[in-house]
Amino acid sequence: TKYVYFFGSGKAEGTAQMKELLGGKGANLADMTSIGLPVPPGFTISTEACAYYSSHEGAYPQGLREQVLENLAKLETLMGAKLGDNENPLLVSVRSGAAQSMPGMMDTILNLGLNPTSVKALIAKTNNERFAWDSYRRFMQMFGDVVMGVPHHEFESALQDVKDSKGKSLDTELDSKDLQEVIARYQRLYKRYTGEEFPVDPIDQLFKSINAVFKSWNNERANKYRQMNDIRGLLGTAVNIQSMVFGNMGDTSGTGVAFTRDPSTGENQFYGEYLMNAQGEDVVAGIRTPEPIETLRAVNADVYDQLVGIRSILEKHYKDMQDIEFTIQEGKLYMLQTRNGKRTIFSWLRSQVEMVEEGLIDKETAIARVPAGEFGKLFAPILDAKYIRDNGLNEVTRGLNASPGGACGQIYFTADKAEEMAALGKDVILVRAETSPEDIGGMAVAKGVVTCRGGMTSHAAVVARGMGCPCVSGAGDIHINEAKKTLEVNGTNLSEGDYMSIDGFTGAVYGTKIPVRSSEIVQVLNGHMKESESNLFYNYKTFMAYVQEVKRLGVYTNADTPHDTEMAVAFGAEGIGLCRTEHMFFGGNRIMSIRKMILANNLIAREKALSELLPMQRGDFEAIFLALEGRPATIRLLDPPLHEFLPNDHTSRHELALQMGLTVEEVAQKSSALHEFNPMLGFRGCRLAIIYPEILRMQVRAIIEAAINVKRKGVDVLPEIMIPLVGNYKEFVFCKKHALEVIEKIFNEQGMKVHYKIGTMIEVPRAAITADEIAREAEFFSFGTNDLTQMTCGFSRDDAASFLGPYVNDTDKQFYDYDPFATIDIDGVGKLVDMAAKLGRSTNPEIKLGICGEHGGDPKTIAFCDKVGLDYVSCSPFRVPIARLAAAQASI
């Protein structure tokens, strides 16, 4: 088997298509080499080798070692240099790179090949003593830390000790004598921790480093990152071994990271940062704050122009925004990486819309790329600008606008503390000098993140953007006192627990509490902002027009109030898929009326209580029909067990007894008579309508009378009456008979008719199994996947959390890929849905099919619904745009 792929001087064995095997970095290094960009030569070890290593306790597959040595020899010949040579030493980097990028999660070793003899040769060759010793020092530090697990801070404090003893404050002030002292300390440190001498044999260094990269695939933070980002099914990481170029050879050298468009806003402008006389990790680790890319023109115009040229070559070649890493070695530019750039959802939206408008990509491509899981963040809150103006608030400092969104919360200085306070329900702003990958847990729970050091491409910035967490980075005026748990910023002092507000769109930081408001899109939709004032709204509207053109599935909403309905319609909902009428029974007099109905001892008393509810329900339905303007409204008849409406504390029972002329005992008795051990499997759904048809009759009357009233006003209506929890077609027939009687009667009374449908939910497994029988009678099915999941898996909707977490997340379990209440369990519940859809259509080809469980807003479930051919999905109003996008993606 071939495990190693060479690239160099215009030729490469790999291609851009080989990401699974070579990782994203390796595949694109090969590709950039082939299209003639300046890439330092090297070779890539495949992910298959890593997979073998992981599953064979660190053993190599046959031939791997030999292939590495052969390719190394080839590289040495091409470079005219040899690893560890005492005249012309070759230095290499060893980097990880999986098929999907996982920034900062796995390991990298630079300057490999240095030892006491080759460092002398490097001095002679470069005539730069300081550079050579500094490279050696960096190599020892990375190798010791990454390969052998010597704590990073030990190296840092050894370095600090030397600086202190020389009275120097910057790394760059250390001369080669000082650096040799650092190296001597590093050697002792290494020996103390590992019990071995620091390896001098470069081949030994190389294989140890390759193993470390293989191993890092399964380190804790990489696993956590994959879990959080739903990265599955990859073999492992590839390992890229590439000849070194140096950004730290003096003031004509440097290194940088750039994006072909703005990763925060998506604006079509070259966007990046660099540092002269530095190596890559200085930029990425956020240790020094880099310079904006435009200033490179003044430093080296040729290199700047060349980069600008490469920017456009890469965008045309990959047809997407690229994230590149480059190094300048003594005035010459080298490309070290290109990949599709990670970006905010704002940047996704704008870049894709503009690329369609530029003719670079088609609409389908744009739709397929924009991450549906992130789409909801477009509607994320922002800091209330009016409040800031009205109160004359000034920012205490401004850092970089690393990840958009407004956030306000109480400040904490460590990830652990942030997690602890967030668990107590506090809004947390995590403030750190710089973040490291270990902070990821704290960042995940924080409302916002602030760092004092680091640029737009620092770890904090990249991770925060990925999580949609507002972030301000590089706020250098903030000085944290970790011990005292305080910070000082331009004269303002804040302590742990004090409020801070941040604006991730601008980088502004406020040392006070500021209300957070709705997004521009929401404001335009609500009429609080003019459409022409919002570029974001333009991009949103344009993109949603593509989505509408491409998608097949309808997208409805779950709404029970006119306000929610209007919001959902503004978001593009094509109807209501579920109006839960019981939600209309709470509040004010209504709850009294329904309680009277429940406590009634005979039909007459029950009908009297119901007649009080009728006008209220009718009014609600009228408002909803008006908001829908002729779109279909699926209205579900009463579903929950009746005792949910009765009070269970003594005071309320007392009050109720008083109002109804009963004794407290009578109320308590009725309540306990209604008590059930398994209410979710109890007296609910259509069972209520079957025992008390007068409830159904009142609700149907309210729906149809409301429809007629609205139609009289000249607005179209399309009510769809939905019977819940049917398990046997005879239940459905019983309910339908009552409904039809009422409807006929109203049509006669009113001398007017409206179109309507009568259908059922499919949420009891028996209903799915006998869907052909039900479909002979029903005009539509709506899959209630909340109950269907509960009853199919036998997991209580209300109590499953205690074991479902481990069922999904623990690496030794993972019985379900995703929480089955969030993403449909395709193999189980999904099979029932598919079967019921087919059975239903077999006896009623016209039947309308939808889904209205929570799953209806989940992109993976939506893809499934498209596949099995449902007509629509229904979800909560704020998920409507996400569902529309997911529906469009499913149909591509």
The owner of tokens 């001087």 is 9
How far is Cα of residue 94 from the mean position of the Cα atoms in its chain?
30
User: Out of ligand PEP, Mg ion, none, which partner does residue 578 contact, by CB within 5 to 8 A per kind?
Assistant: ligand PEP
User: Out of ligand PEP, Mg ion, none, which partner does residue 520 contact, by CB within 5 to 8 A per kind?
Assistant: none
d(CA 101, CA 114): 29
787 binds Mg ion (CB under 5 A): yes
Stretch that binds Mg ion, among 20-28, 501-509, 592-600, 761-769 (CB under 5 A): 761-769
Quote the least distance from Cβ 293 to ligand PEP, whole Å: 51
Measured from the CB atom, is 37 or 553 closer to ligand PEP? 553
Stretch that binds ligand PEP, among 46-54, 349-357, 414-422, 784-792 (CB under 6 A): 784-792
Quote the least distance from Cβ 606 to ligand PEP, whole Å: 23
Residue 673's φ and ψ, nearest 5 degrees, are -65, -30
Name, in order, each residue with C-beta under 8 angstroms of 807's C-beta and a sequence gap of 6 or more: 813, 814, 815, 816
Name, in order, each residue with C-beta under 8 angstroms of 683's C-beta and a sequence gap of 6 or more: 641, 642, 674, 676, 691
Stretch that binds Mg ion, among 149-157, 207-215, 710-718, 782-790 (CB under 5 A): 782-790
Quote the least distance from Cβ 790 to Mg ion, whole Å: 8
Measured from the CB atom, is 435 or 876 closer to Mg ion? 876
The three-class DSSP label of residue 170 is coil
Measured from the CB atom, is 708 or 722 closer to ligand PEP? 722
Determine the size of the site formed for ligand PEP (CB under 6 A).
10
Catalytic residue among 471, 579, 686, 852: 852
d(CA 233, CA 290): 36
d(CA 531, CA 535): 8
User: Out of ligand PEP, Mg ion, none, which partner does residue 81 contact, by CB within 5 to 8 A per kind?
Assistant: none
Quote the least distance from Cβ 682 to ligand PEP, whole Å: 13
Q: How far is residue 565 from each of residues 227, 378, 576, 641, 756, measured CA to CA in Å?
A: 35, 20, 8, 26, 19
d(CA 338, CA 137): 28
- x/- track of binding to ligand PEP for residues 101-140 (CB under 6 A): ----------------------------------------
Catalytic residue among 50, 408, 452, 459: 459
Tokens standing for 850? 């939808």
- x/- track of binding to ligand PEP for residues 278-317 (CB under 6 A): ----------------------------------------
Q: Of these, 787, 825, 834, 866, which contacts ligand PEP (CB under 6 A)?
A: 787
* Count of all residues that appear for the chain in the document: 892
Q: Percentage helix, strand, coil, to 5, in the chain?
A: 50, 15, 35
Quote the least distance from Cβ 379 to Mg ion, whole Å: 27
User: Out of ligand PEP, Mg ion, none, which partner does residue 112 contact, by CB within 5 to 8 A per kind?
Assistant: none
The owner of tokens 């990763």 is 263
Stretch that binds ligand PEP, among 332-340, 452-460, 732-740, 783-791 (CB under 6 A): 783-791
User: Out of Mg ion, ligand PEP, none, which partner does residue 13 contact, by CB within 5 to 8 A per kind?
Assistant: none
Measured from the CB atom, is 333 or 767 closer to ligand PEP? 767
DSSP code string of 35-91: TT-----EEEE-HHHHHHHHHTTTPPPTTHHHHHHHHHHHHHHHHT-EET-SSSEE-
DSSP-assigned letter for residue 680: G
Measured from the CB atom, is 516 or 873 closer to ligand PEP? 873
**By the 8 A CB rule, do 47 and 20 touch?**
yes
Name, in order, each residue with C-beta under 8 angstroms of 802's C-beta and a sequence gap of 6 or more: none
Name, in order, each residue with C-beta under 8 angstroms of 706's C-beta and a sequence gap of 6 or more: 617, 618, 619, 620, 621, 622, 625, 719
Measured from the CB atom, is 120 or 580 closer to ligand PEP? 580
Measured from the CB atom, is 154 or 763 closer to Mg ion? 763
Burial class, 846, CB count within 10 angstroms (exposed 0-12 / middle 13-18 / buried 19+): exposed
786 binds ligand PEP (CB under 6 A): yes
Name, in order, each residue with C-beta under 8 angstroms of 220's C-beta and a sequence gap of 6 or more: none
The owner of tokens 């499913």 is 890
Quote the least distance from Cβ 638 to ligand PEP, whole Å: 11
639 binds ligand PEP (CB under 6 A): yes
**By the 8 A CB rule, do 65 and 204 touch?**
no
Nearest to 329 by CA among 256, 255, 258, 274: 255
580 binds ligand PEP (CB under 6 A): yes
The sign of the CA dihedral 629, 571, 865, 640 is negative
Q: Going edge to edge, which strands form the sheet with 42-45?
A: 11-12, 4-8, 42-45, 238-243, 92-97, 108-112
Measured from the CB atom, is 70 or 582 closer to ligand PEP? 582
Nearest to 84 by CA among 136, 129, 126: 136
The owner of tokens 């005992």 is 665
171 binds ligand PEP (CB under 6 A): no
Number of C-alpha atoms within 13 angstroms, CB side, residue 38? 16
641 binds ligand PEP (CB under 6 A): no
d(CA 292, CA 864): 45
Q: Of these, 784, 820, 840, 850, which contacts Mg ion (CB under 5 A)?
A: 784
Measured from the CB atom, is 439 or 731 closer to Mg ion? 731
Quote the least distance from Cβ 587 to ligand PEP, whole Å: 18
Stretch that binds ligand PEP, among 117-125, 150-158, 765-773, 782-790 (CB under 6 A): 782-790
Measured from the CB atom, is 262 or 763 closer to ligand PEP? 763
Active site residue 852: yes
Stretch that binds ligand PEP, among 272-280, 591-599, 781-789, 878-886 (CB under 6 A): 781-789
Measured from the CB atom, is 719 or 853 closer to ligand PEP? 853
Q: Of these, 763, 773, 777, 866, which contacts ligand PEP (CB under 6 A)?
A: 763
Measured from the CB atom, is 282 or 763 closer to Mg ion? 763
Quote the least distance from Cβ 788 to Mg ion, whole Å: 8
d(CA 802, CA 246): 53
Stretch that binds ligand PEP, among 314-322, 423-431, 780-788, 858-866 (CB under 6 A): 780-788
User: Out of ligand PEP, Mg ion, none, which partner does residue 785 contact, by CB within 5 to 8 A per kind?
Assistant: ligand PEP
784 binds ligand PEP (CB under 6 A): yes
853 binds ligand PEP (CB under 6 A): yes
785 binds ligand PEP (CB under 6 A): yes
Q: How far is residue 341 from each of residues 102, 286, 449, 695, measured CA to CA in Å?
A: 12, 18, 21, 57
Q: Which of residues 833-852 bind ligand PEP (CB under 6 A)?
A: 852
Q: Taking CB positions, which residue lies at the least distance from Mg ion?
A: 787
Measured from the CB atom, is 20 or 763 closer to Mg ion? 763
DSSP code string of 257-323: EEESS-TTT--SS-EEEEEES--HHHHHTTSS--EEGGGHHHH-HHHHHHHHHHHHHHHHHHSS-EE
Tokens standing for 151? 């704590």
User: Out of Mg ion, ligand PEP, none, which partner does residue 853 contact, by CB within 5 to 8 A per kind?
Assistant: ligand PEP
Name, in order, each residue with C-beta under 8 angstroms of 233's C-beta and a sequence gap of 6 or more: none
d(CA 121, CA 736): 91
Stretch that binds ligand PEP, among 22-30, 417-425, 564-572, 778-786 (CB under 6 A): 778-786
Quote the least distance from Cβ 726 to ligand PEP, whole Å: 12
Q: Which of residues 225-244 bind ligand PEP (CB under 6 A)?
A: none
Which residues form the interface with Mg ion (CB under 5 A)?
763, 784, 787
- Residues with catalytic roles: 459, 852
Which residues form the interface with ligand PEP (CB under 6 A)?
578, 580, 639, 763, 784-787, 852-853
